Amino acid sequence: MAYHPHATPNFRNMIVRPMWMALKTALRTIPYIGSRSRFLAGHKGGEKYHAQQVEMIDEWTAERLGPDHPSVGKIYAGDRETSDVVPYLERPLTVMYPYERLEELEPWLFVPGNYNGRIGIIWETCTACKLCIRACPNGCVHMTTEKRVNVLDTTEEGDEWHGYGSEIEEGGLVARKKEEFEQIEEDYNLVLEHNDAPQQYDFGDLIKLDGDVATVRWETGGVDEVPLADLQPAEEDIVSGRIDNGRCMFCGLCMEACPFESFFMTNEYDGMSGYSRQDLWMDAPRTRVLPVVHQERVDAELVKRAKQERGKREKRAAKEAKASERAEA
């Protein structure tokens, strides 16, 4: 019968090794000493796993955010912290999740920039083409309806691409920017928040249009007469907005399949659990992402669609001109 060295208990395995592990744990609590490599190795020849400083943002995200963003250039060690007064002394740190979170202890930190978290969707650019649904291997993306302002209608008077959206008509939906529209963009941080993105518009039904004044019945209640210049066309469209988070494996294929760059894998790791399968269904308000988060992509989609609409109008005008010439001849 072959003998295995670890088959029977011995003094080293039962006494020495546990005592040494307990000693290393105690030594880690001592400033400066605890960060030395000889106390941090997991085992002989193994990888060191404590106090390893890691760049928490990838190059692509750093380029997109710009050099002034607070998360750029930061290095993080997940189990130790220092103080501003004595930065060269460290102490062990345990994050008591879910009562504490990393972003509360280090405001600049969330998770690596290439982390695939909750699915987020920019409704302004979604066309319900269903490519995301076809690409999803788990069948967790579903269609729903959502009131929104189309990206072509987000422009204002004087903008280069203004006027290529839809027209405001009686009986249709309209939207009005909330008074805190810009404040919502500045205050809501997708990195730190773990709830629904706030709605930036008030929606209502246009009852009557009288010159430059529109009578609107708001969804929040009440009927007002509003200057037409304060309103934007709105629509209730079918969008790929309902996500079964219990089936999602966060592969990002929906994001890659979207031709309009409406889908994003956000950095949100929290708020994706529940006590039943029904709690894991996320409807449109939960998956909405404010356009300002990826404004450069929204602007690119706006330009593309505006050019397409301008081409259609030019062709239509040329066709009508030819028809009128034939009629006169």
Name the CA dihedral angle for 189, 153, 254, 193, rounded to a multiple of 10 degrees. 10
Highest mean pLDDT among 18-32, 53-67, 88-102, 248-262: 248-262
CA 307 to chain centre: 28
**pLDDT given for residue 52 in this prediction:** 54
Q: What is the CA radius of gyration of the chain?
A: 28
Lowest mean pLDDT among 11-15, 47-51, 56-60: 47-51
- The residue count for the chain: 329
Q: Give the C-alpha separation, 268 to 257, whole Å.
A: 21
pLDDT cut 70: percent of the chain above it: 74
User: Does residue 23 carry a pLDDT above 90?
Assistant: no
Residue 47: pLDDT band (50, 70, 90) is very low
Fold of 119-309: Alpha-Beta Plaits (3.30.70)
What backbone torsions phi and psi does residue 177 show, to the nearest 5 degrees? -65, 135
Higher pLDDT, 90 or 117: 117
- Domain locations in the chain as residue ranges: 11-105, 119-309
User: Does residue 165 carry a pLDDT above 60?
Assistant: yes
**pLDDT given for residue 50 in this prediction:** 47
Find out whether 34 and 80 touch, Cβ atoms under 8 Å. yes
